[in-house]
Structure 1
Amino acid sequence: MPARPTSRSQRLMQATRSAHDGLDNRIISAEPFQDRDHYVRLLEMQYRFHRAIHELYGKALPLPPALDLPGRGRLDRVRQDLADLGRSPPDDLPLPFNAARMDPATTIGWLWVAEGSTLGAASLLKRAGALGLDETFGARHLAGHPDGRAKSWKSFTAAVDALDLDQVDDALMLNGARDAFLYVRTLADDSFA
């Protein structure tokens, strides 16, 4: 029996596994749940990332409207989390790209990283609970999708897998995902320096 072809989302996961694991280890080593001051550093990192990708959620992309991409953005929730803890959003870093000029395939690569992070956010939300934070105070951006984390992620990856892309666009998407992980790693190194 011939092997099933690898899906696009599986290829994206395989190609970014090392960057994903390195980022996870970097964040864990910074002990962001040691206390609220450490957690604020995580929030500032999250704010910078979601500020960078905010406009990408509103772009016209070859993905089904049922995904409700604009409703998936988390910038406002991170901003509210910072306000809950008496902090202002950091606006000291320039954006890493011009969203209006980014091609659709690269955009989807960046969004793939952001959407995938919602799965790991479940364990982060539990750890935030030890600091007295939850989906209504200080950890809104870690809350799951109303349809459930797994269902939301599966619908996103199914839409990405169903795209009719050529090899060039596939490569652009993969590079977008890699660039997104590199950017978040830079933000983590800066936030937890």
Structure 2
Amino acid sequence: MGQLELRRPTMMDLNGIVHLDQVCLGGFWSDQEYTRELENPQHTLLVVASPAQVWGCGVSWGIADELHLVLLMVHPQYRRRGLGGLLLCRLLQLGHRGGDRRWATLEVRASNEAAQRLYQHFGFEVVGRRPRYYQNPEEDALILWRNHLNTPQTAQELQQQWQSWRSRVETQGWSLIDRSY
């Protein structure tokens, strides 16, 4: 299938990220909001991209001892091929790497069962619900939580998961270049 890079985006990726957002989320953030994210050193953005297009993007924020996973999106054409797992795993690894993030949290649409399965694979559990959190269409969000992000055991688990997700992506014919660290 070709070459993919997992990396931190630059301003040159802005149009591709905004386009991906339009396709996946219907315009969750504007180009100004993504620009702020790209310029904020406290926030982590990662993309999975071919030389021609951004296929996936993930955003996390470190807030005190919490890693908040703000956004995870993969182009519909490339879902169920491991790109979301790759992005999520690396965001969790980067959150762990700081050492002071004890847990991770996120919100997900109550109807998005595929995303919920992915998050559960990484040890997230449903801990609450935010009524009418999402718009267009209006829908509740489930609050998911994962404890013990900063333990040595979690580091080992994430490394094993990383190898598994990377292998899944590469068995589909992609050559993955990891420039995310």
Q: What TM-score comes out, normalization by structure 1 length?
A: 0.32
**Higher relative strand content:** 2
**Higher relative helix content:** 1
Higher-RCO chain (CA-CA 8 Å, sequence separation at least 6)? 1
Q: What TM-score comes out, normalization by structure 2 length?
A: 0.33
- Structure (1 or 2) with the larger CA radius of gyration: 1
